[in-house]
Chains A and B, each alone.
Chain A
Amino acid sequence: NAGVTQTPKFRILKIGQSMTLQCTQDMNHNYMYWYRQDPGMGLKLIYYSVGAGITDKGEVPNGYNVSRSTTEDFPLRLELAAPSQTSVYFCAIQGEKLFFGSGTQLSVL
């Protein structure tokens, strides 16, 4: 997926651990998003950013934090992982279309 890079691809966390999901783009787009997708469910917006230094909550922000210090990077932070945060996480950028990274599969056990 040229343009949007997500790391890691897979991760298993224990309850209460913290981690940061990384998202980096090289397309110089202002709009970036974090979605989560649970099995059989649609994509739910966690946080989004309209440019460096500007972030806002989406539909399901509880338990997450974000920052946007540069145009390129939009990391998602889980401070106290809970089983309910087991999901697949997608970062996306908005250019002419919404373009997704390849996702991070996270399990919290």
Chain B
Amino acid sequence: RKEVEQDPGPFNVPEGATVAFNCTYSNSASQSFFWYRQDCRKEPKLLMSVYSSGNEDGRFTAQLNRASQYISLLIRDSKLSDSATYLCAVNANDYKLSFGAGTTVTVRA
């Protein structure tokens, strides 16, 4: 089983729609969770950290479910500029992040 798994998508949604997707992790000792955004042929950039209580940053909401070992990302009111690949990243407090393969989101006009 892969350490971190994501639905590759693509999720093709119209502008203004809500899109949500999950990322599962296998190591129950994982301590830190993140969502990164990666545009085509560019480096990943941190979108947001994921906290136990869940957190929101504008139109983006991240949730952590430790019991089922997954994190989620929800994007509300999608914009064309949200089109990207979203990578989840997990670490078990050893300063080494494990990344999922990414979920591709395409927002159409």
Contact = CB atoms under 8 A, between A and B. Distances in A.
Interface of A: 1, 31, 33, 35, 40-45, 48, 50, 58, 88, 90, 94, 97-103, 105
Contacts, number: 50
**Max chain A C-beta neighbours (<10 A), residue from B42, B96, B100:** B96
Contacts of B45: 100
A43 B99 contact: yes
A42 B87 contact: yes
Interface of B: 4, 6, 8, 34, 41-46, 49, 87, 89, 95-102
Nearest to B104: A40
A1 B43 contact: yes
Given A40-B101, A42-B98, A102-B42, 18 more contacts: A33-B96, A35-B99, A42-B87, A42-B99, A42-B100, A43-B87, A45-B97, A45-B98, A50-B95, A97-B49, A98-B46, A98-B89, A98-B97, A100-B43, A100-B44, A103-B41, A103-B43, A105-B41
Nearest to A40: B101
13 contacts: A35-B99, A40-B101, A41-B101, A42-B87, A42-B102, A43-B87, A44-B99, A45-B98, A58-B96, A100-B45, A101-B43, A103-B41, A103-B43
Nearest to A43: B99
